[in-house]
Each structure stands twice: as structure tokens, then as C-alpha cells.
Amino acid sequence: MKKFLTYLLYIICLVLLVLEFFIDKSSVHFNIEKHFALFGVVGFLATFFYVLSANLLGKLILKDKDFYDKQ
Amino acid sequence: MISSNIYFNFFLMPSIIFIIGGIITSFLKGNLRTNFSLLVPIASIFSIVKFTSDNVFNGRILSFNILGFNIEPFVYDNITLIFAFLFHLFAIFALIYSSYVKNSIEIGAGLFYIGASLGVIFAGDFLSFYIFWELLTFGAVIFIYLGEHKESKKASFRYLIFHIIGGLVLLCGILLLYSESPSLSIRKLSLNSLSTYLIFLGIGVNAGFPLLHTWITDAYHKASIVGAVFLSSLTTKVAMYALIRCFLGVEALIYIGIVMVIVPVFFAVLENDLRKVLSYSLINQLGFIVVGIGIGSDLSLSGAISQVFVHVLYKSLLFMVTGALLYKYGTCKASKLGGLYKKVPLLTIFAVIGSLSIAAFPMFSGFVAKPMILSSALENNLTLVWVFLLIGSAAVVKYFKVPYCAFFKDNFADNKNNKDNEDDVCNLEDGSKKLPICMYVSMGLLSLLCVAIGLFPNRMLYDILPFESVYNPYTSFHILTQLEILFFATLSLYICKKYNIYHKERDKITIDVDYFYRKLFKKTNATIDKGLESLNSISYKKLLSIGSSIGRGFNNISSKFNERKAPIGITLFLVILFIMFLFLI
């Protein structure tokens, strides 16, 4: 099941990229939105950014649950 | 002069109906209480219909003079009515959800809290605005105080202090504003004087501005099950309304909003308590609304109002789901939950619908609201703002944390390689407590509404917006790009998990800016206390020596007096002298 879902995720991502070739972008108002795979790249990198930054931040702000009770 | 008609109308105001209804509800029990509490929002809707269908004078229904101030507690326009409608809708769902609660005070506090919220949004002058603004705090504090968390009582006290200080800042701003121009009517302000800065800051406390947001993340997860649902939907939304009224189009809001969109996501990733994850997520969603208000165009305002509307619905749904988990399993910590989709399939469906809505997945409510704010940023040539909002929209890592951690994650497998966590996993078989039907009904209706708004945005949402909307979310380009951002973010998250880059949930807490007043102030206080104590002991010793020498001196005198038996003799002599003087007079 896990393998199936993983492959499904890969396939969906691939299909979404392919679909971008077939979509009519002439009615899109803003040029920045027309870049190929822009949204995919932002989604992918943003999540990496969140996870890595959170890991670094975690070293500083993650404390034991009785942190505020300790004197 | 106040006529009796005005008195009559005053008590028919929706806010007063809710507040009085709340007080009465606190004394009722059983079915009577449930039925009565549900009648309150219905009565209030009738009152609004009556007021608005009456002879409307520029939306100003009630107006009277007290101590020379012109008080207008019931003024409305289209935006007010949308918020009022939303709060009534929320009231009905929240009251259905909370009908299982035994403590009537909790339900009474809920009605009181909604009444105060309605009071703020209908207020036409800053004085009545301020009074209801402060009443909001008292409704909320009761919910936090009644929480079952070991820190609930302390957190409620911190909440009270935080909001009283915020309220005082707001009051100072209002008084200064009145001294500058003798009018108390609520109007659009610009940030150009101390008074407006103070009002901005006072509203900012309730809006969860960066550094002022800690009351949200400190208190919400410590409130009672029902309390968190009420808290998540009222105070901050009322603040959003106040920002729309007073600071629409103020540029500073755009930058404040961006910080609110991005920063809470890191905390949401690290946090273990799912209700606290939702609290950070709430700030992230508020950030979008604040940016929308800051941009100030018709489209961005429509986006902000739509976002408030859908946000109240899906956020309260998610808080209801986590509340149900807390009710059934006694915990909603990510490290202790997992794999519950087989045990509570309906809750799983509700959580997934709530998360898909918050993630703005096509066909769910978030999809028809949030993108309006992004489009308005581009429309106003704010490309960098748009990029930040896009990064904020890609926070799949937070959107799906509740359904993933509670229902799908294989907790035991996850913990095999993580020995620190072994004690954390609670025995979920123990969760035999049956969920009340009222919870299912409320969550089911909210889920349906989230889907219905996503499917029929024109009829369900856009038609009630103050501006005629030309926005169409269902273009093939928009659907494709939104799916792209969400699926690629999921792919990225999957890779992070696979290569163990993703942080594993452990029973730890995240510290926030509240560290400064919860720990550092305590430390500073302790240091000052120690310093003062040593000073005290030194001065005590010194004073003691001085005192003893003075005492010795007095002792010598008194001993001399004692020897001559003077005090009694002298006193007797003085008394006789006094009586003689009296006779002479």
C-alpha cells in the first residue's frame, strides 16, 4: 500500500508537470505566473526550507515539557 | 435625553441578547439549557432582521448621549452584517457541539463571548467598542480557566494580564484620539500620530501581531475542549474586523502579515500538541487576512473577508476534531496518537476535510478564498509579497499535521527506532469513551459547509461579499497550479521523511517569545528578589544596631521616669489641669 501511494505521488507530480504544456496560459494576467513549473518548484523548495529551518530552530527552542516548572 | 424606545431597542441589540442569554444559561441545566442556548442566536437573528428592515438612517440605528459622548452601539453596513452572520452561524455549530458539556457556566461564557464579539462589530463609536472589547477578554478567560491542562489557571491569568495591558493601550489611544479631534465615531485612521499607533497596537494584540501573539499559543491549547473552539473563532476575527474598519490599506499591515504567514510554520512543524499546532496555523492564516487588509483593494478586501469566513468554519472544525480526540483519548499530542483511522473513521474524514480546506485544495473552502489575496498582491504589483504568500501557501507540512499525526501515522513503527519516545505512546485501546452524537452532528455539518462553499463559491460566499466579485477560482490554470504546489510540497515532505530529515514528534514543548515573561522575568525577578533580600538583611542588621542604640537611650530615659514614678504623677497633674481649664471656660 505504501509503495503504491509513493508511486501514485510520483505519477501525479509528473502528470501535473506534463499538463502544464497543454494548458492555455494566454488568459493568465501576470507574467510571473507563466513560468514553467514555478508553483511546483516553490512548493517543493518551500517545504525543504520549512523542514530544515525548523530542525535548526528546534535545537534552540525545543525544551522538556517541565521547562517552565523548573526553577 | 434617552427615550424609553431607545432603552427598549438597547435590550433588543444582538450583543445584549447574547450577553443576557449567556448569564441566564449559566443557571440552567439539562435539556432546558441546551434548548434555551440554541434559542439565543435565533432570537438575535430576529433582532438583526428587525433592526435592519426598520427605517434605516445610514445604518445608524441606536444613538444616545451619555456624559456628553455620542454613543452608537448599533451601526452596520454590509461588512458588519457578514461578520454578524458568520458569528451566528458559528454560534449554532459551537452550541450543538458543546451541548454535551455538564458545566452550564461554560455555555453561558460562550454566549457571553459571542455577545461581546457582536458588540464590538456593531459598535459605531470607540467607547462602546472599547467596553465590548474588554468584555471579550472575560468570556475567553473563563474558557481557559476551566481547561483541564495543569497550567490552565496560570495561563488564564497570563491571558487576562496580556489583554488588560492591550486594552489599556487601546484606551490610551482612544483618549488621545479624542483629545486631537473631539469625535468618538469609528473611522478610517492612518498611522501618523501617537494615538493611532496606540490604537493599532491595542488592536494588534488581539490580532496576534508578531511578538504580541504569544497569548494565542500559550492559552488556546490549555483551554477546555469547547473553549478552544470558541477562542479560535472570535477574538482574532473581531480584531480583523477592527483592522478593516480602522486601518484598511495601511502598508505596515502587509509586512506584519508576511511575518505572520511564514514564521508560525516553523513552530507548527516542531510542536507536539496538536491544538498548539492549530494555534500556530491560525496565526499563519490570519497573516493572509492581514496582508489582504493591508493591500486594501476591492479584491484583497473581498479575499480577506472570504478568508475570515471560511477560516472560522474550517478552523473551528479542526479544533472540534482535536477536542474530540482529547475527549476520547485524553490527549491530543502527536507523539502519543497515531493510526486512529480504523477506530474513528468519521473523525478522520472530518479532519481530512478540514485540512484540505485549510490547504486550499480545489473543491474545498480555502480554495475559493485565499487565492484572491494572492491575486490582489500581483494586481497591485507586489510581486515579492506574492512570492512570500506563495511560500506560505505551500505549508503542507502544517496543513496535514493533524490528520497525519492523529489518524494515519504508524506510531509504533515510528517509535521502534526512537527509544526516547517509547514511554510516550499511550495505549489507544483505553480510549473507550464514546463520543457524544452532538459532536458528530456539529462536525458533520461544518464539513458539509466547507465542501459546499468550495463547490458553489458564488452562491455560498461571493454573493454576500460587499463588492461585486469578478473572481473565478475555477480556471484550469488556477486548479493546476494549486495542485502543483500542494503535490510537490507533499513530495518534498515525503523525501524529508524518507531520509530522516524531518523532525520526529516528541513529548517536548516549543518556547516562544513568552519565554521572556514566563522564564526570564521570573529569573530577573528572582535575582532582584535575592539582591533586595541581601540588602534587606544588611539594612536590617544596621538598623537593628541603630535601633538598639536608640532603644538603649529611650530605656535610660524611661528607667529614670520609672525611678521617679513620673508618668503617672505627671499624667494625673495634666488631667486635673485640663479639667480646671474646662471649668474656667
Measured between CA atoms, the residue of chain B closest to residue A9 is B491
Nearest CA in chain A to B333: A65
pLDDT at B530: 82
Looking at mean pLDDT, say which of B227-241, B453-467, B552-566 comes out highest. B227-241
Mean pLDDT of B301-312: 95
pLDDT score at B129: 95
Indicate if the pLDDT at residue B57 is higher than 70. Answer: no
Closest approach of B526 to chain A, Cα-based (Å): 10
Average of per-residue pLDDT across A39-49: 94
Contact B518 A29 (CB under 8 A): no
A17 touches chain B (CB under 8 A): yes
Mean pLDDT of A44-56: 92
Confidence at B195, pLDDT banded by 50, 70, 90 = very high
The percent of residues in chain B predicted with pLDDT above 90, rounded, is 62
CB contact under 8 A, A9 and B487: yes
Determine the distance from the C-alpha atom of residue B251 to the mean position of all C-alpha atoms in its chain, rounded to a whole number: 24
Residue pair A54/B270 in contact (Cβ under 8 Å)? The answer is: yes
Whether residue B268 contacts residue B277, with contact meaning beta carbons closer than 8 Å, is answered with yes
In the prediction, which pLDDT does B73 show?
Answer: 86
Check CB contact of B493 with chain A, cutoff 8 Å: yes
Using an 8 Å CB-CB cutoff, list chain A residues near B485.
39-40, 42-43
Closest CB to A46: pick one of B379, B394, B518. B394
What tens digit of pLDDT does each residue of B115-161 get? 999 999 999 999 999 999 999 999 999 999 999 888 899 999 999 99
Among B81-90, B328-337, B567-576, the minimum mean pLDDT is found in: B567-576
pLDDT of residue B71: 84
Which residues in chain A have Cβ-Cβ distances shorter than 8 Å to B486?
43
Closest Cβ opposite residue A51 in set B397, B484, B518: B397
Specify the amino acid at residue B192.
Answer: N
pLDDT at B384: 94
pLDDT-based confidence at B422, cuts 50/70/90?
very low
The pTM is what?
0.88
**Res A15 pLDDT > 90:** yes
Q: What is the mean pLDDT of chain B?
A: 87
User: Tens digit of pLDDT for each residue in B454-507?
Assistant: 999 988 899 888 887 678 899 999 999 999 999 999 999 999 988 888 877 778
- The answer to whether A44 contacts chain B (CB < 8 Å) is yes
The lowest-confidence range among A61-70, B246-255, B553-562 is B553-562
Q: What is the pLDDT of residue B485?
A: 94
For residues B196-212, average pLDDT: 95
Q: How confident is the model at residue B562 (pLDDT cuts 50, 70, 90)?
A: low
Question: A47 and B512 in contact by Cβ < 8 A?
Answer: no
Q: Smallest Cα–Cα separation from B227: which of B275, B167, B165, B287?
A: B275
Closest approach of A71 to chain B, Cα-based (Å): 8
Interface of B with A in 511-530 (CB under 8 A): 511-512, 518-519, 526
Q: Do B492 and A48 touch (CB under 8 A)?
A: yes
For residues B272 and B402, the answer to whether their CB atoms sit within 8 Å is no
What residues of chain B, 421 to 460, have a C-beta less than 8 Å from chain A?
A: none
Of B382, B568, B573, B414, whose CA–CA distance to B503 is shortest?
B414
pLDDT mean over B250-262: 96
Give the lowest-confidence range in B79-93, B236-250, B328-342, B516-530: B516-530
Which residues touch B99 (CB under 8 Å, ≥6 apart)?
B34, B37, B436, B438
**H/E element, B115:** helix B104-122
| C-alpha distance from A44 to closest chain B C-alpha (Å) | 5
